[in-house]
Amino acid sequence: MKSVTTKLLVIGGGPGGYVAAIRAGQLGIPTMLVEGERLGGTCLNIGCIPSKALIHAAEEYDKVCHYADGSPLGISVDKARIDLERTVQWKDGIVKRLTGGVGALLKKNGVQVLSGWARIVDGKTVEVQEAGAGEVTRISCEHLLLATGSQAVELPFMEFGGAVMSATEALSPATLPKRLVVVGAGYIGLELGIAYRKLGAEVAVVEAMDRILPAYDDELAKPVASSLKRLGVQTHLGCSVLGMNEAGDAVRVRDAAGNESELAADRVLVAVGRRPRTEGWGLESLLLDMNGRAVKINDQCQTSMRGVWAIGDITGEPMLAHRAMAQGEMVADIIGGKRRHFTPVAIPAVCFTDPEIVVVGLTPQEAKQAGIDCITANFPFAANGRAMTIEGTDGFVRVVARGDNHLIVGWQAVGRGVSELSTAFSHSIELGARLEDVAGTIHAHPTLGEAVQEAALRALGHALHI
């Protein structure tokens, strides 16, 4: 067995782990990173990036299909065709470029990357069975950073395999299923369900709650529900899945009234959440304080054991790549001697459905629950010139601000392309902007961003274009 020593050892090369390692390298901290599968983690390999690539390809194809039916824009095409193998290759090319870039950045910053699965010996010692060579390396470290991410929740009566897929398999289809049943109308179920529908599959979504996207309020989810209807995605709300039928060609479903039925399916995507990856690599032996299934951390990402840190999905919700990255950067800074705390005013969340949803900060309901007397105002994209020119008039921007001093505490938006507004939303909240600041800023015309200014103006009682 080979023995090595380092100051910082990072387990997991996803957005949390690799960002922490890059920043540590920049700060001159001797750093090693262990990754069992592929650098880039869930996000770059089987999550954020490939899903957004597939969603984009599906949108483009859907657009061309519509042009084949004639279009008010005067565009027509004879017949739309898609070569799914090439689509998947194109998506894989983007993943390869990005993950290769991560490897290059780690190298450039002097981080030593070990390819293999880490097993915890104690809070300062880890063993790694190196891929290929099979040699075991024992690493002693001063600081241990846990960044092992999360994995898809499996339904015990519908395990992954065969026709039943997780998002990972759904992101690399060899062929398009004729009929896809999606279990779970959350982020993954709807992002990928809509993409499959646009690629040409018949899609049915089964959701246990009585509405789609239960994490968002009704007003925000409504334009997505209308879009599902328009696209022909069937929704079965308030239903529980019971498993596959005996022939394996349909999903058995029970509705709220107890009636059972079957939904024909060539493939089934189960997207009922993700859980922190805390088992199978010796973590239990550290007896860390837990927060349910997640590792409990304080506002510096310290666990209950001195010198052991945790970031990203292993620490629970919100399981988002940008949160993992921000935590990783901060931990490296702290180890490098800086005084930092993870206390963002807001962490943006974007759902890449059609239309997209953005939530930053407090919703009106959350503000009310927090005892804040607030003003809220919506500005509809139907009154925004740019939205008309991109055929995206469905949706709105909503602002939530304190009634007393007009401090903005939340933004929400739903509409085509609104993911890009998340930057402006986050800036205004983190910088402590008031309604007057946004209302008094000149926003370029014609842009969707004008709806942001108009929402602030409307909250102040003097919107111009409505």
Q: Closest residue to ligand NAD, Cβ-based?
A: 186
185 is in an annotated binding site: yes
Beta carbon of residue 106, minimum distance to ligand NAD (angstroms, whole number): 24
Q: Which of 56, 66, 406, 445 is catalytic?
A: 445
* 213 close to 354: Cβ distance less than 8 angstroms: no
- Of 6, 9, 10, 13, which lies in the binding site for ligand FAD, with binding defined by CB under 6 A? 13
| Residue 130 assigned to a binding site | no
423 annotated ligand binder: no
Picked from ligand FAD, ligand NAD, none, the partner binding residue 209 (CB below 5 to 8 A depending on kind) is ligand NAD
- Residues near 341 by beta carbon (within 8 Å), at least 6 away in sequence: 299, 300, 330
193 touching ligand FAD, by CB under 6 A: no
Nearer to ligand FAD by Cβ, of 180 and 319: the residue is 319
Write out the two tokens for 11: 């387990």
Catalytic residue status for 427: no
190 is in an annotated binding site: yes
d(CA 167, CA 50): 10
Give the binding site for ligand NAD (CB under 6 A): 155, 183-189, 191, 206-209, 214, 240-241, 271-274, 318-320, 350-352
Q: Is the bond preceding 50 in cis, omega lying within 30 degrees of 0?
A: no
381 contacts which partner out of ligand NAD, ligand FAD, none, CB within 5 to 8 A by kind?
Answer: none
* Residue span binding ligand FAD (CB under 6 A) among the ranges 32-40, 175-183, 199-207, 384-392: 32-40
Strand partners, 276: 150
Say whether residue 160 binds ligand FAD (CB under 6 A): no
* DSSP conformation letters of 398-412: EEEEETTT-BEEEEE
Which residues have C-beta within 8 Å of that of residue 4, sequence separation ≥ 6?
32, 137, 138, 139, 140
Q: Are 270 and 164 in contact (CB under 8 A)?
A: yes
Q: Please report whether residue 322 would count as binding ligand FAD according to CB under 6 A.
A: yes
186 binds, among ligand FAD, ligand NAD, none (CB under 5 to 8 A by kind): ligand NAD
Helices (H), 245-299: none
Is residue 348 near ligand FAD by the rule CB under 6 A? no
Q: Are residues 361 and 390 in contact, defined by beta-carbon separation less than 8 angstroms?
A: no
From the CB of residue 296, how many other CB atoms can be counted at a distance below 10 Å? Answer: 15
Figure out which of the listed residues 30, 36, 110, 238 binds ligand FAD, where binding follows CB under 6 A. Answer: 36
The least distance separating ligand FAD from the CB of residue 117, rounded to whole angstroms, comes to 4
User: Bridge-partner residues for 116, per DSSP?
Assistant: 130
Give CA separation, 9 vs 3, 150, 298, in Å: 13, 19, 20
Q: Tally the C-alpha atoms within 13 A of residue 18's C-alpha that lie toward its C-beta.
A: 26
Q: Figure out which of the listed residues 67, 90, 160, 281 binds ligand FAD, where binding follows CB under 6 A.
A: 281
Nearer Cβ to ligand NAD, position 271 or 460?
A: 271
Report in angstroms how near the CB of residue 377 gets to ligand FAD at its nearest: 28
31, 35, 244, 360: which one binds ligand FAD (CB under 6 A): 35
Using rule CB under 6 A, residue 17 touches ligand FAD: yes
> In the complex with ligand NAD, which residue's Cβ is closer, 191 or 217?
191
CA distance 359 to 42: 22
Query: Tokens standing for 435?
Result: 């309604």
- The torsion of the CA quartet 426, 428, 430, 436, rounded to 10 degrees, works out to -160
Query: Cα(418)–Cα(118) distance, rounded to whole angstroms?
Result: 40
Name beta bridge partners: 308: 144
Enzyme catalytic residues: 445
Residue positions forming the annotated binding site: 52, 148-150, 184-191, 207, 273, 313, 319-322
Binding site for ligand FAD (CB under 6 A): 11-17, 34-37, 41-43, 47-48, 51, 117-118, 147-150, 167, 188, 277, 281, 312-313, 319-322, 324, 352
